[in-house]
Amino acid sequence: MSYHARGLSGVAARHPIVLRFAELRPEDLAKFVMHMKRAGGDLSHVDRTRADQNERLIGEDDWVETALAEIDYMRHANFTEELQALKVRKRRKEMDARILQGLVDPWKESKGGPLREVILTANKDWFAETTEMGALFDVDERAEREAQFKAHAIDWLQSRFGDAVIHAHADHDETTCHIHAILMPRHEKTSARRGLQRMLQPSAYPLLKSYEAAQDDVGEFFGEIGLKRGVRGAEARRVVLEENEKAREIAKKTKSDPVLQDVPLMREHVPTPVWWAHEIQRLKEKSEALAKGKEAVTKDQQTARNVLAEAQAEREKARQAKVAAKLQEEQAAVREQEAEEIVAVAEAVSSGQIEFDGASVAVTPKLRPPETYAERKVAERLKAPGSKARAFFQSLHKSYGEMRAKADEKAAKRLASEAQAVRVAAKTIQQLKSTLLAAVPKGLQTQAIRDFLKAERAERKMEKRLKIPERDRDL
């Protein structure tokens, strides 16, 4: 294990190392540099506040100019070498034809170009993981992981491609730390016809010639820091192709239709600008999907809150209705009890258990000793302060007293009127007595006097019965 991998043994290899190759032409380097310096192109995925953290790992500032100058030198040197070889071999016609052809590029013509861009990265979760020691001491190991990843990437690039690595830099201003490197795969070969030719030939490097070999190698190399090889696409395709061939042979023998499996597609190596465009579109679609999902979740949450609020409102309404019903029930029970007490008092008055002994409202009613349970309850309620039975009785007693007082007043007035009539009659009788005694013969006066005395005694009895005051008797 190299010193760069120290401290990461506590993390299991769950995430793959990501390796990509892309073909480039020399004229593509200007666009590469423009994107590297964040001077153009789509920069929506770039965090400008972290751009100063990006760093060059391999090469000088003028690496592009140096590379283009070297390629131009290779054109001239190859041209000179080939003419010299033809001259030595005395191939005059071929030499003339080559002169007319002029300078040619030092590589075999291809669709993508002779240079290679290398991208090395890993899943962002790997950079965020923490070892047992880091978790124990609550240490953020992201910076250390990025440093170890960069150091490991430099080791791998230089040990596998040597001076073919003309540039490498690390980007920290995007979602995940990643390494960009440019390979200039130089290769020299000598022949009698062309002499020494300096070429750009990627196939001269085993890891550029075989994508699967490169994946195996980088997976093993980065295994030291807790990363692993990616999915073996070529092996999976090979297994499926073999299985499909066996299925065809069996179907041919049995004269049936073969059951074939889908062959995994070969991973296509696309230029970096194209890859970035696809990646940006993918991230945009993912962001939109997440936004829609978040909107849907927010809407569902609001709906749930509304339903919950309605349910709570219904429960509160039902609770209030229940409380109101209970209160009404209790009030009805109280009113029923009060009505029963009032009826009991009325029945007690009607039955003679309670008697009134005067017209004054302050007079305490007479209660005969209770004989039944109902009479005992009435007696208890009449003594209870604040009871409806007591209040009703007091009101009844007051009404009785007022009625008695009015009756006594009315009777007194009637008696006074009768007494006045008696007094007038008495006066008239007295005058009549005097007149009669004067007119009665002397022989009959004694008997008349006796009759008058008898009448007076009857009058006094009547006055006594009518309770005429002494002061009014002679009026």
The 10s digit of each residue's pLDDT in 290-319 is 788 788 888 888 888 888 888 888 889 888
User: 359: pLDDT confidence band, cut at 50, 70 and 90?
Assistant: very low
- Poorest-pLDDT segment among 12-26, 205-219, 349-363: 349-363
> How far apart, in Å, are the Cα atoms of 322 and each of 278, 316, 334, 358?
64, 10, 18, 50
Residue 385 pLDDT > 70, yes or no?
yes
Q: What tokens does 251 get?
A: 């179907």
> Quick one: average pLDDT of 452-470?
66
Over residues 70-83, the mean pLDDT reads: 95
Percent of the chain with pLDDT over 90: 31
Instruction: Answer whether 455's CB lies under 8 Å from 429's CB.
Output: yes
**pLDDT value at 180 more than 60:** yes
Q: In angstroms, rounded to a whole number, what is the distance separating the alpha carbons of residues 193 and 199?
A: 16
CATH 1.10.1200.10 correct for 3-230: no
The more confident residue out of 364 and 256 is 256
DSSP state of 464: H
Rounded Cα distance between 71 and 102, Å, is 15
Which residues contact residue 213 at a Cβ distance below 8 angstroms, ignoring those fewer than 6 apart? 206, 207
Note the pLDDT of residue 438: 66
Cα–Cα distance, 463 to 473 (Å, whole number): 8
Per-residue pLDDT band for 186 (boundaries 50, 70, 90) equals very high
Token digits for 172?
A: 């920290």
User: Which of the 8 DSSP states describes residue 58?
Assistant: E
**The pair of three-digit structure tokens given for residue 368, joined into one six-digit string:** 């005969």
- Weakest mean pLDDT among 2-11, 146-155, 267-276: 2-11
The enclosing H or E element of 19 equals strand 15-24
User: What is the structure's pLDDT at 457?
Assistant: 76
Q: Report pLDDT digits (tens) over 132-155.
A: 665 555 556 788 888 999 999 999
Report the mean per-residue pLDDT for the chain. 79
List the domain boundaries for the chain.
Answer: 3-230, 354-473
Separation of first and last alpha carbons in the chain: 150
Residue 12 has pLDDT above 80, yes or no: no
Q: Which residue has the higher pLDDT, 167 or 441?
A: 167
**Which of 95-104, 151-160, 456-465 is the least confident region?**
456-465
Higher local confidence (pLDDT), 280 or 315: 315
- Angstrom distance (rounded) from CA 283 to CA 289: 10
Residue 409, pLDDT > 70, answer: yes
Asked if residue 112 lies in contact with residue 203, where contact means CB atoms within 8 angstroms, the answer is no
CA angle 88, 93, 96 (to 5 degrees): 90
Dihedral of the alpha carbons of 232, 236, 242, 246, in degrees to the nearest 10: 150
Q: What is the CB neighbour count within 10 angstroms for residue 154?
A: 19
- The pLDDT assigned to 109 comes to 87
Lowest mean pLDDT segment, chosen from 59-68, 81-90, 251-260, 346-355? 346-355
> 131: pLDDT confidence band, cut at 50, 70 and 90?
low
Whole-number percent of the chain with pLDDT over 70 = 72
Residue 415 has pLDDT above 80, yes or no: no
pLDDT band at 9 (very low <50, low <70, confident <90, very high): very low
Task: Give mean pLDDT, residues 449-463.
Answer: 72
Using alpha carbons only, how large is the chain's radius of gyration in Å? 64
Residues 167-186, mean pLDDT to the nearest whole number: 92
Lowest mean pLDDT among 16-25, 263-272, 341-350, 423-432: 263-272
Residue 80: per-residue pLDDT: 94
DSSP for residue 186: E
Residue whose C-alpha is closest to residue 182's, from 171, 194, 167, 197? 167
Helix (H, G, I), strand (E, B) or coil at 311: helix
Q: Is the pLDDT of residue 7 over 50?
A: no
- For the segment 101-109, the average pLDDT, to the nearest whole number, is 93
User: How many helices, marked H, and strands, marked E, lie in the chain?
Assistant: 14, 10
Higher pLDDT, 411 or 96: 96
Least confident interval from 106-115, 361-370, 376-385? 361-370
Query: Residue 232: CB partners within 8 Å, gap ≥ 6?
Result: 212, 215
pLDDT interval class at 343 (50, 70, 90): confident
Phi, psi torsion values for 20, nearest 5 degrees: -135, 145
Paired sense of beta strands 366-367 and 115-122, if any: unpaired
d(CA 147, CA 4) in angstroms, rounded, equals: 8
| Structural contact between residues 85 and 149, judged by C-beta atoms closer than 8 angstroms | no
Instruction: Report whether 227 contacts 16 (CB < 8 A).
Output: yes
